[in-house]
Copies of this chain bind each other. A is one copy, B any other.
Amino acid sequence: MKLREVDGMTFVEGGVCAAKGFRANGIQCGLAHAGASVTKKKNDLALIVADKECTAAAVYTTNKVKGAPILVTKEHIADGKARAVIVNSVNANTCNADGVEKAQKMCQLAAAQLGISENDVIVASTGVIGQVLPIEPIANGMKSLAEGLTYDGNPRAVEAIMTTDTAVKEVAVQFDLGGKTCTMGGMLKGSGMIHPNMATTLTFITTDADISAELLQRALSDTVKVTLNRVSVDGDTSTNDMVCVLAAGTAGNKPVTHEDADFEKFENALYAVMMNLARMMARDGEGATKLIECAVTGADTEKSAEIIAKSVITSSLFKAAMFGEDANWGRILCAVGYADTDFDINKVGVHICSAKGDIEVCRNGAGVDFSEEKAKEILGEDEILIKVSVGSGKGSAVAWGCDLTYDYVKINGDYRS
Contacts and interface: CB of A to CB of B under 8 A. Distances in A.
Contacts of A366: 95-97, 130
Interface residues of A, number: 61
Report which residue of A63, A96, A329 has the largest number of chain B beta carbons within 10 angstroms of its beta carbon: A63
Contacts of A314: 235
Contact of A412 (B239, B324, B365): B324
Contacts of A333: 65, 95, 129-130, 239
A205 B180 CA distance: 73
A65 B315 contact: no
A336 interface: yes
Interface in A167-215: 196-199
Given A95-B366, A317-B199, A412-B324, A64 B331 contact: no
A282 interface: no
A78 to B, nearest CB: 22
Nearest to A237: B338
Contacts of A32: none
A373 to B, nearest CB: 12
A60 interface: no
A412 B236 contact: no
Contacts of A64: 336-338, 343, 345
A235 B336 CA distance: 13
Interface stretch (A50-58, A352-360, A400-408): A400-408
B408 A336 contact: no
Contacts of A404: 409, 412-413
Given A95-B362, A328-B197, A412-B316, A63 B338 contact: yes
Contact of A65 (B337, B412, B414): B337
Contact of A316 (B131, B316, B323): B316
A198 B318 CA distance: 10
Contacts of A416: 326, 328
A257 interface: no
A3 interface: no
Nearest to A319: B412
Nearest to A361: B130
A138 interface: no
A277 interface: no
A128 interface: yes
A367 interface: yes
7 contacts: A64-B345, A95-B367, A237-B337, A239-B334, A324-B413, A326-B414, A408-B409
| Closest 3 pairs between A and B when the two form their complex, measured CB to CB | A320-B412, A65-B337, A324-B413
